[in-house]
Amino acid sequence: MILAVGTILSPQAGYVMLGLFGVLWVSLGIWWGKRAKSYDGFAVAGRNVGLALGTATAVATWITSNTTMLAPQFALQLGIWGALAYSTASFGLFAFAPMSGRIRQLMPEGYTAVEFVRKRYGQIATVPFLLISLFYAITWLISMSMAGGKLLNVLSGIPYPIGMTVVLAVCVLYTLFGGMYAVIGTDFIQSLIILIGLVVVSIAVLMQVDIGDVYTKLEVQRPMLLSIFFPAALMSLFNNMLFGFGEIFHSNVWWSRAFSMRKGVGPKAYALGGLLWLPVPIVAGFLGLAAPALGIGISQPDTVGPLVAATLLGSVGALLVFIVIFCSLASSIDSLLAATADLLVNDIIEPLIPGEISDTSKRRWAAMSIVGLGLLAWGVALPNVGTLATVLFFAGPMVGSCIWPIVGGLYSRKASPIAASLAMILGTTCGLIAYFTIGWFVSSLIGATVSGIVFGIAMKIAPDDFDFKTLSAPPPDRSIPKPILAEASR
């Protein structure tokens, strides 16, 4: 028997919740934004973030709507391995923990991951890395925006365009006012709400569902979901793990936090963040496994998690799911907006403008970048084409191809510009071919594998001898010389 499933909350209740949280986050953003007196404060929170806030922002940013919505989708489509596959993304946080300390040591005054690649490998590798970073950030931002619209529509019947627009607008506003101070401050509150909410929802669902009954029904109706030899699921396990490595290693979302934390804090914060995040997709994935056993009809697989929880728990469950996923959305969208704006300002706008850019001008450019990114994400997300998995994992081969150039560039003197460039280009190309010919569940795996092989071979053939001390050297003086100024004034 299929349970009749409609919206659990009324549109009025959805609008009220949306309004309350919108006002809360914007108000907090304005309040925390008062601390951002300079561009350094706006971009990297004064480089003084401690362990508690550092851990909270890592957890909140990594518990995206993809965690709470894609993990159940993985379980629904790929079974037990699907839920476990998503949890492997925590390995990226564990691996990035020591790397964050290395980054802070090598570039104490750095701002972006692209800045590292430019100083480490030169322009030849900067171009593909910059394109990959921008494409991935925008893709992730679009998927978060889509998730917001889908969530509000499933739970309360708010039309997708309205829900998506309001969620994105709220995040743009408070990031615009507060920069990284607002992002990390709201992340702290959001991480607490998310973790408490997930515990409450999971306990409530387990009290309503007999796990033995779920297993028995799956064994009869959909036995492949329980099989340990489900080929697509096994490939997705390694694919998602490498995608997680690539996401964190290359993304300026994580590099900007490494630059924001006090020395010695990053390794501890990322390790604790990984531990706290690890069980979340497993818990969320159970909702996906329960759906077919409970006879709940699912029209969009990426909405299975909130739909199952809301159906089982009624209005209270819908409210909890709404709060958890709204917080997870905001904690990721704001991080993407702030980190990608840093990248645009420091790695595209500043190099193109002659002379020295003032602190006030950089802050103004950052604000315009945040608004522009929000408008771009809104325009692309509006048609609501594809599921969250297909949208996000299209960038998988690209980020997977960046793993080895980043690791090699941080730890090996022999990593060369040619090796890094070829690894990113060939890894991305082969991974995208696999995406279209085989499926999204192998594209990151193939992209990372090809990239690693190419990087190793090219580094042997054309090794470098890099001096890591040059990474901490101050940037060249870009101000216009006085004689030129004098000439121009005549």
* Count of helices and strands (H, E) across the chain: 24, 0
The string of DSSP codes covering 238-270 is: HHHHHHHHHHHHH-HHHHHHHHHBPTTHHHHHH
**Token pair for residue 161?**
């365009």
pLDDT at residue 41, rounded to an integer: 87
Query: What is the Cα–Cα distance from 176 to 191, expressed in whole angstroms?
Result: 21
Whether residue 387 is predicted with pLDDT greater than 90 in this model: the reply is no
How wide is the angle at C-alpha 359 spanned by C-alphas 356 and 365, nearest 5°?
Answer: 90
For the domain bounded by 11-385, which CATH number is listed? 1.20.1730.10
As a whole number, mean pLDDT of residues 468-489 equals 56
> Regarding predicted confidence, which is higher, 4 or 298?
298
Q: Using CB atoms within 10 Å of the CB of residue 382, give its burial: 0 to 12 exposed, 13 to 18 middle, 19+ buried.
A: middle
Terminal-residue alpha carbon distance, the chain: 86
pLDDT above 80: residue 479:
no
Q: How many residues does the chain have?
A: 490
Q: Which residue has the higher pLDDT, 440 or 225?
A: 440
Tokens of 454: 């190419």
State the average pLDDT over residues 217-234. 70
For 293, the token pair is: 């056993």
pLDDT reading at 1 higher than 90:
no
Is pLDDT at 79 greater than 50 in this prediction? yes
The model's confidence at residue 13, banded by pLDDT at 50, 70 and 90, is confident
Read off the pLDDT band of 299 (50, 70, 90).
low
Whether 302 shows a pLDDT value over 90: the answer reads: no
| Average pLDDT in the chain | 83
**Average pLDDT over every residue of 67-84:** 75
Residue 410: per-residue pLDDT: 96
**What residue ranges do the domains of the chain occupy?**
11-385
What's the sign of the alpha-carbon dihedral 196, 197, 198, 201? positive
Considering just the CA atoms, what is the radius of gyration of the chain in Å?
A: 23
Taking only the tens place, the pLDDT of each residue in 419-454 is: 999 999 999 999 999 999 988 778 888 999 999 999
Q: How confident is the model at residue 345 (pLDDT cuts 50, 70, 90)?
A: very high
| Among the listed residues 466, 77, 109, 367, the one whose alpha carbon sits nearest the alpha carbon of residue 236 | 77
Q: Which residue has the higher pLDDT, 65 or 274?
A: 274
CA dist., res. 62 & res. 57, Å (int): 8
Asked if residue 72 lies in contact with residue 218, where contact means CB atoms within 8 angstroms, the answer is: no
90-142 pLDDT per residue, tens: 898 999 999 999 999 999 999 999 999 999 999 999 999 999 999 989 888 88
- Proportion of the chain above pLDDT 90, given as a percent: 37
Find the mean pLDDT for residues 149-157: 80
pLDDT, position 484: 37
- Given a contact cutoff of 8 angstroms between Cβ atoms, the answer to whether 7 and 149 are in contact is no
- To the nearest 10°, report the CA torsion of 128, 132, 134, 137: -160
CB-based contact 444:243 (threshold 8 Å): yes
What is the distance between the alpha carbons of residues 372 and 138, in angstroms, rounded to a whole number?
A: 11
Residue 385, exposed/middle/buried by CB under 10 A (0-12, 13-18, 19+)? exposed
Residue 440 has a pLDDT of 75
Strand ranges inside 249-327, DSSP E: none
